[in-house]
Amino acid sequence: MRIHGELDSCIGWSAATLLTGKGLSVAHQEAVLEERAVSIVINGQTYAVMMVTPEHLDDFFMGFLWSEAIIHGPEEIIAWERMTENGAWAIYLQLTAAAAERAQHKRRHVLGGSACGLCGTPLLAGLIPFAPLESSFCCNPASIRTLMVQMQERQALNHSTGTAHAAILGYQRDYLVREDIGRHNAVDKSIGAAIQHGLRPGEVNVLGISSRLSFEIVLKAIGFGILVIAAISGVSSLAIKLAESHGVTLIGFARNDRMTLYAHPERI
């Protein structure tokens, strides 16, 4: 399923002018991260149009459909194909009848920006389709610090452009890292990658993100049974409330040998 040359397709070059501290003006070429509108078409009907970085698109739609509670397993995806025509990108998916029916009730009505997790969702009443998590899992602060360091070291796109968000999953003494211009997309890609690696809910314990931590990201983590979320930046009020009610440990400002625990600190 991996598309050859994806990394190169994610970085473009733009003419830019650098102004130095000494007042000098220098013309040069600057690396920029690609952002594309990608239509997700389910059984012939457009479900959503998302702004994403065109890398690991198979991981993206797998994680996105899981986080949307449309698929309950990869076996519900019968076939898929990526197509590009005149600069337009689309992912065509054939889902089982049950999964297609779930999509029909959740179909989005507006374009989802790279910073948007729930844009266009028609029914706000059913935003939390996942049950609270219950587990005796615990981890130590050193393992959280290691996770965040691993995430930063593996951000190839961000090292080149300074623009990409990242999400890292810790599991079985290993890590999965995915990047995207959108932080929600990076989380979806990491969950999709986990699914394609044969992992299932409850087998991934920790999620790290290179951004602020909001309600939507906590929701995605709950959907995959992730018990601990650490963010390099702060957290939102709704993220804390959702984490408290659904048994998720929430960590903010996990950098420079410090971290702030906002919900369920007993796991750390």
Ordered DSSP codes for 231-260: ESS-B-HHHHHHHHHTT-EEEEEEETTEEE
| C-beta separation of 107 from 47 below 8 A | yes
**pLDDT at position 7:** 59
DSSP class of 119: T
- The pLDDT value recorded for residue 217 is 96
- How confident is the model at residue 4, as a pLDDT? 38
Q: Is 138 a known active-site residue?
A: no
Q: In this predicted structure, which of 64-68, 102-106, 208-212 has the lowest mean pLDDT?
A: 102-106
Percent share of the chain, pLDDT over 70: 90
Chain mean position to CA 52? 10
- Res. 99: pLDDT tops 60: yes
pLDDT of residue 190: 98
Helix, coil or strand: residue 194: helix
Decide if 105 contacts 127 (C-beta within 8 A): no
For residue 83, which phi and psi values (nearest 5 degrees)? -130, 145
pLDDT for res 88 = 81
User: Can you tell me the mean pLDDT for 199-225?
Assistant: 95
Burial 52-90 (b: 16+ CB within 10 A, else e): bbbbbbbbbbbbbbbbbbbbeeeebbeebeeeeeeeebb
Is 258 known to sit in a ligand binding site? Answer: yes
For residues 104 and 95, the model is more confident at: 95
- The per-residue pLDDT for range 79-92, each reduced to its tens digit, is 999 999 877 899 99
pLDDT at 210: 96
- The answer to whether 253 is annotated as binding is yes
Average pLDDT over residues 159-170: 95
Distances (CA, A) of 255 to 64, 111, 161, 263: 28, 33, 21, 18
**Which of 123, 112, 135, 141 lies closest to 49, judged by CA?**
112
Catalytic member of 10, 116, 138, 139: 116
Neighbours of 104 (CB within 10 A): 13
Check the annotation: does 174 bind a ligand: no
State pLDDT tens for residues 58-77. 999 999 999 999 999 999 99
9 band by pLDDT with thresholds 50, 70 and 90: confident
The reply to whether 158 sits in an annotated binding site is: no
Instruction: Look at residue 3 in the predicted model and tell me its pLDDT.
Output: 36
Compute the distance between CA of residue 211 and CA of residue 238 in angstroms, rounded to an integer: 16
Average pLDDT taken over every residue of the chain: 89
| Inter-CA distances, 133 with 89, 139, 147, Å | 37, 16, 22
Domains contained in the chain, CATH given: 36-126 (3.10.20.10), 141-267 (3.40.140.10)
Mean pLDDT over 117-144 rounds to: 74
Q: How many helices (H) and strands (E) does the chain have?
A: 8, 12
**Per-residue model confidence as pLDDT tens digits over 109-130:** 545 555 555 555 544 445 677 8
pLDDT at residue 112, rounded to an integer:
52
